[in-house]
Structure 1
C-alpha cells in the first residue's frame, strides 16, 4: 500500500491567495491526502478574529476532514505596513525561509512515522523561496496559481517577451504600441495591461526573479480554472495544469476570511424575487477614489433595483479607506455590509448581476453562480480577466469612463439596465456555469487532472 501524500501548503498572506489555497487543501483532504497549511501568525490572528467561532481554527487532528494549520512569523510587527508588497515579501522570505526547515522537521516528528512525512510543498506566487528550501530537503514542489492561467502564462513568458523586444527588460512596460498574443489560440492582449504593468519597476524585478524560481523548482503550475475557459493557454507549457474551479465545502471548518462575514445579507436576499438584486463588491485589495465612490453610491441610488453593496473595512490601521456615503444617498432599496459570504451570495436565486473588480477568485465564483458581470477592473490581472468575461465568454459588459476618467452615476444606471435586458449574456452565463461544473464533477477533466497530480506525488 503506497503512503498517503502529505502536502505542506504555503500561500502568500493576502486573502486572494489564502482562500484559493485553502480550497485546494480541502480538495486534497477529500482525496485522502494529509495537509498541513502554513499561515503567518498575523494572518491567522486576523482569520480567528473574523471568525464567529475560534473552534473553526482548531487543528483537531482526530477529524479526518481537518487541515492541520501551523504558523510562522512574517518578520513584521502588528503595526507595520503590509501594503508595501516588495518590503513585505522581503521580510517573509528572510524570516520564514530560515524557520521553515525546523517547522518541517517538527511536523514530520509529530506525525510519528516515516510514511507520514511531508512529501510535497505547494506554494502560491511570491512564495517560491519555499520550493528552494524543499528541494534542499528532497521534497517535491508545485505552484498553485491564484490568478488565471493566462496571467500565469504571461509570467512564464516574461523572458520571451523581453527577447522578442515586446517589453522593456528593466520596467516590464511595452517598448512600442502593439497588440500581443502569447499563443495563436489565445485572445489578443494589451502589453500595457499585463499583470505587472501598473505596479512599478520594483514589482517587475521581483516578478522576474520569482518566475525563474517557480520555473526551476515548481514541477507543476496548478491552475484554478477549467480547460475550456482558457484553452489556448495550455499549449505554452506542459507545467500548466487546470484543476478548477476549486470551490469550498461549506461544511468544513476552514474559514480564512480576514473580515467577519455578515450572514444577515442572505436573509435579506431571501426577501427578494429571483434575478432582482444587483450585487456590488470589489474584493479585498481595491481602493476607490472618493469622487468615484460618490458616483457609485449615487448611481446605485438611481437604480430601480435593490442592491447588496460590500464596503470593505480598511486593510490596515494606517490606510483608512475614508468611504463616506454622499449627501443625497438614500439607500432605502439596498443593503450595505462590510463583508459578505460571496459564494453563497452569487449562488442565491435573487442575484441578477455582479458588479465586480474582476479578480480571478471573484470571476470563478461568478462563473460558478451563472451570474452576468459588470466589469470594473482596478489593476494587475483584472484587465485580462475582464477581456475573457466580455470578449471571450461573453457573459458581461464593461463601463465607459467620462473625460475625467470617472464612471458616472448615469453610466452605472445605463449599463445595469442594458445588462439585465440582455438575454444572450444571461444564456451564456448559464452555459459556462454548466461547463465549469462538468469539469469538477467525478470524471471531469479538472477532477482527473487533480488525481494525476496526486498520483505524481505518490510516485
Structure 2
C-alpha cells in the first residue's frame, strides 16, 4: 500500500518578530519535549516551527495531535522511508539512514526558502535535538545560528560526553553515582545493534562539539541535589553553556501551578502523540479508591522485555490483589507473554490498554504508584504529579535515571526481578509501609522544588534569557548574545557589596519581618545592618544572622518584663533615636541605602540629612497601606472626622450629608478595598484604646504618611497578587510610588536564624504536640503586641476551649490583664487535653502536623505563617490592621471564618465547622491553593525578581530602579 498524501499543514498566523525552527529526534520521547519547548517559545512571542520527518508528522496528525499544537507550526520533512502512517514507526536503522541521506536535503531547502519569507526575516535560530545532530551542519551551511536541545538529564549528557575518557580509562567520569558500564545508553539489543548505536553516539557527540554556544536541557536546575550540579555548570570547559529549562509544562507557560495562574498562560494542551490514547481508562480510574492503583507502562520506544518477563510481571500484578492499569503495546512481542485469558481473569480489578493518556493517569488521584522503565519524560511526569516509582529500567538513559530516582532523590525503588514474590513485596513496601511513606515525602519535596519552587523560577529565567537573546539580535549575521564560545578560564566579575542599614518599628510584629528582609538581602550579597532601639536589643534572644546595632532610646529599661508602651516609644522615636541613628550614619562611610519601616518614619529625614537614599518597608498587607494612604479621602467623604473618629454621616456626590444608621462601609464610595470585604469604619487601624489613645495614634499616622509621601519606593511584606480578583490590588497607592512586593517566600532563601523574639519560647509545647493526633489540635494565640481583650472574654474562651473536648495549645501572656481571666485551677482542669504556655515557638507550632486550626487575632505575621504552613484560621481580630487581614482571610481567600462572639456555644460550633465539616474541608483546599501560589508558584518568582531588582539597583546605584 502506498503512502497517504501529506495533510495540509495547519495555517499559523505569522505576526511575530523572530522565527525559530526546532528539529526533534524522531521518537515519541524526544518529539514530546520538543513540542513543549516550541509552545514555551511561542508563549514568549517567538514564531516556532517544528520540522519533523514525514512518518512522525502523519502519526501526530492521525492521533489528533496537530490540534493540540495550536500556536506552533508543524512542518513535514521528507525522510525517504516507505511508510503509510499506520502501525509502529520505522525502526532505528531506517531513520538513522534517513537522518544522514534524506532529511538534511529537505531541511536545507526549507531554511533557504524561509530567508525571504516571514515578512522578510530569516530564521533567527535553529534548535536541534542533540541526537538529531545531522541538523547542525545543515544550519551551519545556511548561516543559521544553532543551539542544542537535550531531552534527558544533564547527568546523561555528562556520561555520553565522557566517551573519550571511557575508552581511555574504562571508567565513568563525572556521574557521581554507582553506575555499571553495563548500564551505558548505547547497550541496546545484540552486539551488531550495540555497535551501530555506539557509532551513532560517536558521530553525534563529534558534531555536538561544534555547539560552543548553548544547550537547552529538559531538566530542572540543580537536578543533582547534593551532587554538586548546578544550572551554570557545564560537562567540561569546552562544552556549551548549559541552560536547564525543564520540566517544560504542557501549555508552554511556567505559571500553571494554580487556577489563578492559568489565567495568564496559554491553554493547557494535551501532548501530541504518535498513538491514539484509550480514554476509557480514565473512567475506570474514577471508580477506584484514591491512591490504590498501580500504573504500569514501559513507554513508547523500549525494546520488548521478553515474553517470560511479561508473563512473570502479569502474574505478579495479579498476585498483589491490587487494582492496576497496564499500558501494554499490542505488538505480539509484548502481548504474547500474557497468560491465557489474562484480561478476563483480572477484569475485576485490572485494566489493560494499548496506549494511555499518561499525564491524565498520573494526575488522577486513584494512582498510587508507577511501575516504569524510567524514561526521562515518564520520570518528569511522575515528579510533576507526585507519584512514587517502582523502577524497571530496560535500556538507554533509563539506568542513569533509575540511579537518581532510587539513590539521589529516594523517591522510588528498583525492581531487580519480576518474579511474582518480588513484585508483591516491592508493591507492598511502596504502597503501604514506612519505606513507601518516606518515598512519598521525598517525592513531595522534590515536586515542590521542581514544579513550584526555586528550580522552577530558575528554569523560567533561563528560558526567558534565551528568548531575550534571540529577540535583541539586531542583524541576522550578528552572533547571538548567548552564543559565545566557552572561555577555558572565564573571568568572574567582582560583585560589589552594598551596605544597607535597616530600621524597624520597635514591635515584635515589625522586627521579625525586618530581620527576615535583612537576611534575604545578605543572601543576595548585601552587608545588612539592623539598627534597633536599646530596649529591643536587650531583649532579642538568639542569633539573628545579620549585624544588630543598638540605638539610644532614652527610655529607662533593664530588659526585663514587658517592653515600653506606645507612648514611650513614640516619644523616643521623635527625640532620641534620630540623634543616635544620625551619628551612626555619619560614622559609617559608604552606606548605600537606608530601609526604614514606614512606621519608623522618623528615620527618613535623618537619611536625607546624611545624604543617604531611603526606601520604605511596609510590614503588613498592601491593602492596609491603601487604607491608611486614603485618610484624606476618608475625611473628605465624611466617613471619619478630622481626628480620625468614624461618624454616622457620609457626603453624597451632590455635597449633601446623608445620615447613616451605624457604621459606614469603606468600600461603598472609595476605590481602596473591594466592596465585598465590607470593612467598617469602626475597624480602622488607629482605633485602639480610649478616645485619647485613638486621637494620639491617628496623629501618629498623619505624621507618618506625611513623611512617607516623599518616598519613591517601598518594599511590602506581602505576596504579589495578594488579592486575587481585586483589580486594584496591583495599583500603587500613588502614581509616583513604586511598590515591590517581596514576601513572604523569599525570606526562606536565606539560612534560618535562631529565635529572634523578644520573649523566651516554651519549647515543651512541641513535645506535647508530638503526642497528639495529626490535625487534631487547635492552636490559640493573640500575638505579641495586642491590648488585652478583657477578663470576661478570656474566661469565655477558656470555658469554650474546655467544652470542645479537643486538644488545644494556648499561648497566653503571663500578665495579670490576660491570665486573671482564667477560671480557677483551669490548667489542672484541662491538663488531659490542653496546654497553656506564656510564649510559643509559633513557626514550629504551625509547621507541626498535629495542628488542625489556629484561633488568631489575624496579625499579619501570624496570617502569613498560617499560609506558609497551610493552616485554617478561626479569626478574632482585636485592633490595628487585623480587621483588614480578617476580611481578606474570610471573604477574599476563604481560608478561615470569623468568630463574632466568644460565647461557649458559638466557639464550639465554629470549631466543629472548621475542624470537621465540609466548610472546613473547603477552607483547607483554599489554604492549600493559596500556599502553593504564595510559597511555590508565580508569586514566589515575582517576589524574588522584585527583591533581586532592588539589590541590583543599589549595586548599580541606579536610583530609577530603587528610589524612583
For normalisation by structure 2, the TM-score amounts to 0.42
Partner residue of 2:313? 296
Contact 1:308 1:336 in 2 (8 A): yes
Q: What is the CA-CA distance between 1:71 and the residue it aligns to?
A: 0.5
What is the rounded CA distance, in whole Å, between the counterparts of 1:104 and 1:439 in structure 2?
A: 39
Give 1:263 shift.
1.6
Is the counterpart of residue 102 in structure 1 residue 94 in structure 2? no
Q: For the structure 1 residues 430 and 12, does the alpha-carbon distance in structure 2 shift closer, same or farther, using more than 3 Å as the test?
A: same
Partner deviation per Cα, 1:254-308 (whole Å, 9 max, x = no partner): 7421111112222221222221111001000221211111111111111221111
For 1:146-189, what per-residue CA distance to the aligned partner results, in whole angstroms no more than 9, with x for missing partners?
Answer: 221111111222223334x22xxxxxxxxxxx6x3416xx3232
Query: Structure 1, residues 46-105: CA drift from partner, whole Å, max 9, x if none?
Result: 112222x87557xxxxxxx51111111111111799654244212222111112222123
2:362 aligned with 1:346, yes or no? yes
C-alpha deviations, 1:22-58, integer Å up to 9, x for none? 011111111111101111111111112222x87557x
Shift of 1:336: 1.3
Q: 1-side partners of 2:387 and 2:57: how far apart?
A: 32
**Aligned partners of 1:86 and 1:206 also within 8 Å:** no
Which residue pairs with 1:225 in the alignment? 219
Aligned to 2:127: 122
Q: Are residues 181 and 157 of structure 1, via their aligned partners in 2, closer, same or farther at CA, if it must alter by over 3 Å?
A: closer
Matching of residues 3-402 of structure 1 within 5 Å? 4-51=17-64, 55-56=67-68, 66-78=71-83, 84-114=91-121, 117-163=122-168, 165-166=169-170, 180-182=172-174, 186-198=176-188, 200-217=194-211, 219-230=213-224, 232-233=228-229, 234-237=233-236, 239-249=241-251, 251=267, 255-286=271-302, 287-314=304-331, 321-323=334-336, 325-327=338-340, 329=342, 330-331=345-346, 332-401=348-417
What is the alpha-carbon root mean square deviation over aligned residues?
A: 2.4
**What secondary structure does 1:232 align onto?**
coil
Greater alpha carbon shift after TM alignment, 239-248 vs 349-358: 239-248
Distance in 2 (alpha carbons) for counterparts of 1:70 and 1:439: 35
Of residues 149-158 and 71-80 in structure 1, the stretch that sits farther from structure 2 once superposed is 71-80
Q: 3-state DSSP class of the match of 1:105?
A: helix
Cα separation, 1, equivalents of 2:113 and 2:270: 22
Tell me if structure 1 keeps the 8 A contact 2:81–2:98. yes
DSSP-derived class of the 1:339 partner: coil
Contact 1:4 1:34 in 2 (8 A): yes
User: 1:346-366: per-residue Cα shift (whole Å, max 9, x none)?
Assistant: 121111000000011101111
Larger deviation: 272-281 or 388-397? Answer: 272-281
Contact 1:279 1:308 in 2 (8 A): yes
- The answer as to 2:440 corresponding to 1:429 is no
Question: CA–CA distance in 2 between the matches of 1:107 and 1:313?
Answer: 41
Q: Residues 295-339 of structure 1, C-alpha deviation per residue, up to 9 Å, x if partnerless? A: 11111111221111101234xxxx854435313731120111111
Matched with 1:416 is 427
Give the superposition deviation at 1:193.
Answer: 1.4
Q: 1:86 to 1:307 in 2, by over 3 A?
A: same
Moved more, 191-200 or 358-367: 191-200
How much does 1:18 deviate?
A: 0.5
Give deviations 1:83-136, integer Å, cap 9, x for gaps: 54244212222111112222123344442222xx21111111331121211122
Residue 417 (structure 1) shift: 0.4
Residue 478 of structure 2: aligned partner:
none
Greater relative contact order (Cα 8 A, min sep 6): structure 1 or 2? 1
Q: Secondary structure at the match of 1:34?
A: strand
Cα 1:6–1:252 change in 2 (3 A) is farther
How many Å separate the matches in 2 of 1:254 and 1:369?
A: 15
The question of whether the paired residues in 2 share the 8 Å contact of 1:50 and 1:257 is answered with yes
> Is the 1:439–1:446 Cα contact (8 Å) retained in structure 2?
no
Q: Secondary structure at the match of 2:210?
A: helix
Task: Decide whether aligned partners of structure 1 residues 281 and 432 sit closer, same or farther in structure 2, where only a CA change above 3 A counts.
Answer: same
Q: CA deviation at 1:19?
A: 0.6
SS in 2 for 1:42: helix
- Alignment length (residue pairs): 422
Q: Over alpha carbons, which structure has the higher Rg?
A: 2
- Going from structure 1 to structure 2, the CA distance change for 1:121 and 1:218 (only over 3 Å counts) comes to farther
| C-alpha deviation, 1:413, in angstroms | 1.1
Question: For the residues of structure 2 that align with 1:213 and 1:439, how far apart are their CA atoms?
Answer: 35
Measure the CA separation in 2 of the matches of 1:218 and 1:46. Answer: 34
2:732 alignment partner in structure 1:
none
Flag structure 1 segments of 5+ consecutive residues without an equivalent: 58-64, 167-177, 402-406
TM-aligned CA distance change 1:56 to 1:352, over 3 Å = closer
Cα distance between partner residues in 1 of 2:143 and 2:37:
23
Q: Secondary structure at the match of 1:229?
A: coil
**Higher alpha-carbon deviation: 188-197 or 428-437:** 188-197
Give the distance between the partners of 1:305 and 1:450, measured in 2 at CA: 42
The TM-score, its normalising length taken from structure 1, stands at: 0.86
